[in-house]
A and B are shown apart, each in its own frame.
Chain A
Amino acid sequence: MESIPIEHGLILAGILFALGLVGVLTRRNIVFVLMSLEIMINASGLAFIVAASRWEHADGQIMFLMILTLAAAEVAVGLGLIIQMYRRYHTVDINVLSQMKG
């Protein structure tokens, strides 16, 4: 019998999402924070693919393509911001950004 229970796919997506969340909450290096965000986006994409597999339809895969586009745009802008931050503060510590100058 070739089948996987739907819970197992969703549980995998949930675990990956929670790991990404822990990464976002704990790391202070902004590059690691962006990488953890990628993990979370990827986990939500996995959930969509599992749903596509459950309905045996291509809609979920199209949603995954949209998520992929979003992730690519987000990474491009995020990395640009990191470069700009490194130029101004010479560090990748996100704590220095908490002091705003008006």
Chain B
Amino acid sequence: MSKKHIRNFSIIAHIDHGKSTLADRLIERTGTVSARDMEAQLLDNMDIERERGITIKLQTCRLYYTYKGEEYTLNLIDTPGHVDFTYEVSRSLAACEGALLVVDATQGVEAQTLSNVYLALENNLEILPVINKIDLASADVDAVKLEIEDIIGLDTDGCPLVSAKEGIGIDDLIGQIIDKLPAPEGDDDAPLKALIFDSFYDNYRGAISMVRIMDGTVKAGDKIKMMSSGKTFEVVEVGNFSPDMRPAKSLCAGEVGYIAASIKNVSDTAVGDTITGAENPAKEALPGYKKATPMVYTGVFPADGAKYDDLKEALLKLQLNDASLSFEPEVSTALGFGFRCGFLGLLHMEIIEERLEREFDLDLITTAPSVSYIVTKTNGEKLTIDNPTALPPMTEVAYIEEPVVKATLYSPPDYVGPIMELCQGKRGIFVDMSYIDPTRVQIIYRMPLNEIIYDFFDSLKSRTRGYASLDYEMDGYMKSDLVRLDMMINGELCDALSIIVHKDNAYARGRGIAEKLKEVIPRQLFEIPIQATIGGKIIARETVKAYRKDVLAKCYGGDITRKKKLLEKQKEGKKRMRKVGSVEVPSEAFISILKIDS
């Protein structure tokens, strides 16, 4: 196949601007999937994705289209649309020459869209703006066009106007993809350089790499080498997605497809890595490889302690498909045996937890999320700590550094005040504010990640009636005056409730958590003091009063059975509780402390 008949492109869009629907329409229009097999949002192949209407994992699909009498191959690389997955987005963009920027004609440009546009520009992609949802009554095509030109500086003259839902303008869009996006380059005879932009685990073929061939050719039987690790494998099969796996004889420069090489673990097919030939390797790897680093950590425990092995099995299975998920065993006095899990971000965490519960039928207790701190001890030793309980006594600590992000917020001007107040309250340092147009302000804050992982999104949405959007990127570490806040229940330390907070916020948060626990811990036979402490010093106290009344109802007419059933039901309820000392604490208490607006 000649390279000039190939187009490799992604779709960039804000979460609900219709990216997946547009992808579906392209697949349908090019006849890649028969109408009979067409299921709405075909590329989102996990139940959770389809239910939430968001894309988590990348999918790719090869489309065939005849245009002006010539046969074209269009490789659509779908991308996830959430800040947690920025790195994955950047790698899939690196596999393309062009990108469609889908903008909702009723919403305009949003923060998420912009950050991905910048990613695309960094990768030298040709960007084709596409205005979607033009069929809606509230669509304002001209305003959105202007916005795209003003904010991003793209020419919107003659850009495709579509309704993915109604199938309007799809042919014009495909024509423009072929006319305006460049064909790939590359040398079929040069040493192999294939960019891994995604990988997944197949039960029969092992870890499969999804690749863009930059140079060279790869076919079954070839020996390949992963350039980051030097590990070598023998290729078993290569092929394309349309959208299910179709084996092919070979993959040449410019093509997009998959390589199966009996690789046992997805961690050996890391996103961003370069695959080359083992015998005739390329001199240098493709730029931009980064090891996925977890940003958010949380303890995950089975609600039923006997299910520890099931949880382990489930995590191992998920990890096969998701190399960015990390975990190691953790023991909590309150929650027993579980795992400390690392995630790319909060959404990633929620998705993994939901998949564990849904696909593996597990009941979980999760602890408050934490970030990774760098602790320098007085003796000069440096520790990386992602679990508050691992923090050494403050007498041994010289200083603590915490991760910081550059948070970019977009909002109508009306909400600037509340947003700034929120960011300031979360220890944000003001960096910049600019009016993009009269209706839209960009605000940039430098903020501790620690403050974002609690209730920042929810607070932001509630203070701006859902109008503000947020994007963030890592921006190094900074020294902070941090302390560990511990909770004591009936005089016993509950390790699963410990968190690391800034000293200035410790009092308010300690009081908030104590109040929340008072709400969620049911009254018991004894009075239960709940104390928030820092380094043994009590900073807040609440008391769950002992209850004084049971059902002293009539045991009527000798109906003892009913009484027994009542007690059995009560006992069953107790089994779902966690014991902290002699106090029964409901599972939801451990996560409820997150929902405190302080």
A binds B: no
Task: Using CB atoms and an 8 Å cutoff, list the residues of chain A in contact with chain B.
Answer: none
